[in-house]
Amino acid sequence: MLPRLLLLICAPLCEPAGLLLIVSPSHPTEGSPVNLTCKMPSLQSSDAQFQFCFFRDAQALGPGWSSSPKLQIANMWKEDSGSYWCEAQTMASKVLRSWRSQINVHRVPVADVSLETQPPGGQVMEGDRLVLICSVAMGTGDITFLWYKGAIGLNLQTKTQRSLTAEYEIPTARESDAEQYYCVAENGYGPRPSGLVSITVRIPVSRPILMVRAPRAQAVVGDVLKLHCEALRGSHPILYWFYHEDVILGSSSAPSGGGASFNLSLTAEHSGNYSCEANNGLGAQRSEEVTLNFTVPTGARSNHLTSGVIEGLLGTLGPATVALLFCYGLKRKIGRRSTRDPLRSLPSPVPQEFPYLNSPTPGQLQRTYENVNVVSGHDVYSLVYYNQPKQESAAAETLGTHMEDQVSLDIYSRLRKANITDVDYEDAM
């Protein structure tokens, strides 16, 4: 009687002995699949039809009761660890249960944390979008990502997600965003930091300012003028170009700020409009024009004016002007030589009396001819003198000067026909 009672009590507990739960793999890692199989070794599949169901900690898995003795869990996570078993139910509603199996899902610690940027290289234009991408080469489960700025480690953002990468976005990059950054990842096994990444925010140059520095309030020709060009904003290095009326004067580079200068020695042609241009490879900017007018010193202006007048006269009057100037110089040279060397001066003509001493008419003057050296072949050239009485009146002095000029012209004309140079004429005297 007693053995039978014990058998009735133990029967329900002994029924699971015919049902077996097989777990593959038996020690899964996070993110990997697990296959569960409910098997009845003592029964053939043709002996009876069964419905199967799998459980974890009293919670049914999958679709519930099914005719398939297998169940696949696509991704196992740390929280999926627990006690698993399966049950089989016959057509007569008899339920068989397997022994429980403990499944522990293993988490892989994060490793090889890195920080990358988009755009790549850590350089971004001011105003553009900047993305900091934190990645881990391995690690399972929920990973917490943190981004830090600067050496002091200012926390920018924290994200927790089941992923090997996470992003932190700066929608509009500014100059203040230029700094060193790093990220940290952890999944319960301690934080793992990345290396430092330097971010450079590239800033186009602003419109430069041109400053002109002169040694005095009113610059004059010959002064050294200093042109200084500076863009107040812009990434370095910056190349500066200097212009005068859109003609390049020169260039200078500023590798670390402060602008650039160009020294210019002024000439009369340097009056006009000046400007400069700044360029750092992100676009060029031109300064406003500065108009400068320089003072020409009096001496230089007089020389320049005299030269211009003479050139104008020569171009307008042509050979007649040349002959006139030559005769004037020749006359003065003859006079000087007569004073220095009386022996070589022209012979004085014999004074003659004029019948009308007070007559102002040039036609009443008497001419005297005197032969000089034979200078070309068999031709004899003559010097012509006009004699007039010595009078104290102003009219007589004026008339004498006019006649003297006529003599010089006559001499010059005859010498030109004979191709006699100035030196030849002086030797002839």
Domains, in order of start, for the chain:
20-103 (2.60.40.10), 111-202 (2.60.40.10), 208-292 (2.60.40.10)
Greater confidence (337 vs 63) lies with: 63
H helices within 74-164, ranges in order? none
Q: How confident is the model at residue 353 (pLDDT cuts 50, 70, 90)?
A: very low
Distance separating alpha carbons of residues 131 and 334, to the nearest angstrom: 96
Residue 347 parent element (H or E): none
Q: Are 157 and 168 contacting, i.e. CB atoms less than 8 angstroms apart?
A: yes
Residue 345 has pLDDT above 90, yes or no: no
Question: Phi-psi bin for 418: left (phi > 0), alpha (psi -120 to 50), beta?
Answer: alpha
- CA distances from residue 232 to 203, 205, 288 in whole angstroms, order as listed: 11, 8, 14
Distance separating alpha carbons of residues 429 and 427, to the nearest angstrom: 5
Q: Are 314 and 304 contacting, i.e. CB atoms less than 8 angstroms apart?
A: no
Greater confidence (389 vs 198) lies with: 198
Residue 397 has pLDDT above 60, yes or no: no
Residue 296 has pLDDT above 60, yes or no: yes
What's this model's pTM, rounded to 2 decimal places? Answer: 0.54
Residue 359 has pLDDT above 60, yes or no: no
Greater confidence (298 vs 34) lies with: 34
Per-residue model confidence (pLDDT) at position 266:
86
Residue 20, token pair as written in the block: 């077996």
Amino acid at 200: T
Q: Are 421 and 375 contacting, i.e. CB atoms less than 8 angstroms apart?
A: no
CA atoms within 13 A on the CB side of 385: 15
Strand pairing partners for 136?
A: 113
Residue 366, token pair as written in the block: 């008497």
Q: Are 54 and 38 contacting, i.e. CB atoms less than 8 angstroms apart?
A: yes
Express each pLDDT in 234-288 by its tens digit: 998 999 999 999 899 999 998 887 899 999 988 888 888 999 999 999 989 999 9
Residues of the chain with pLDDT > 70, as a percent, come to 63
Per-residue model confidence (pLDDT) at position 361:
38
Which residue matches tokens 């005068």?
244
Instruction: Select from 284, 253, 271, 298 the least CA-distant residue to 212.
Output: 271
Per-residue model confidence (pLDDT) at position 258:
82
Greater confidence (418 vs 158) lies with: 158
Distance separating alpha carbons of residues 246 and 68, to the nearest angstrom: 88
Distance separating alpha carbons of residues 88 and 68, to the nearest angstrom: 10
> Of the segments 51-55, 316-320, 344-348, 416-420, which one has the largest average pLDDT value?
51-55
Residue 79 has pLDDT above 70, yes or no: yes
Residue 382 has pLDDT above 90, yes or no: no
Greater confidence (395 vs 103) lies with: 103
Express each pLDDT in 184-223 by its tens digit: 999 999 999 999 999 999 999 999 999 988 888 777 888 8
Give the relative orientation of helices 298-317 and 319-340 as an angle to the nearest 10 degrees: 120
Phi, psi dihedrals of residue 10, rounded to the nearest 5°: -85, -15
Amino acid at 61: L
- CA distances from residue 256 to 140, 228, 379, 415 in whole angstroms, order as listed: 47, 15, 85, 75
Terminal C-alpha separation, the chain: 181
Greater confidence (199 vs 364) lies with: 199
Q: Are 98 and 16 contacting, i.e. CB atoms less than 8 angstroms apart?
A: yes
How far is it between the farthest Cα atoms of the chain?
A: 200
Per-residue model confidence (pLDDT) at position 292:
85
Look up residue 295 and give its DSSP letter.
Answer: B
Averaged pLDDT for residues 347-360: 36
> 260-265 and 192-193 as β-strands: parallel, antiparallel, unpaired?
unpaired
Per-residue model confidence (pLDDT) at position 247:
92
**Would you say how long the chain is, in residues?**
429
Residue 139, token pair as written in the block: 């690690």
Greater confidence (44 vs 275) lies with: 275
Residue-averaged pLDDT of the chain: 74
Averaged pLDDT for residues 3-23: 54
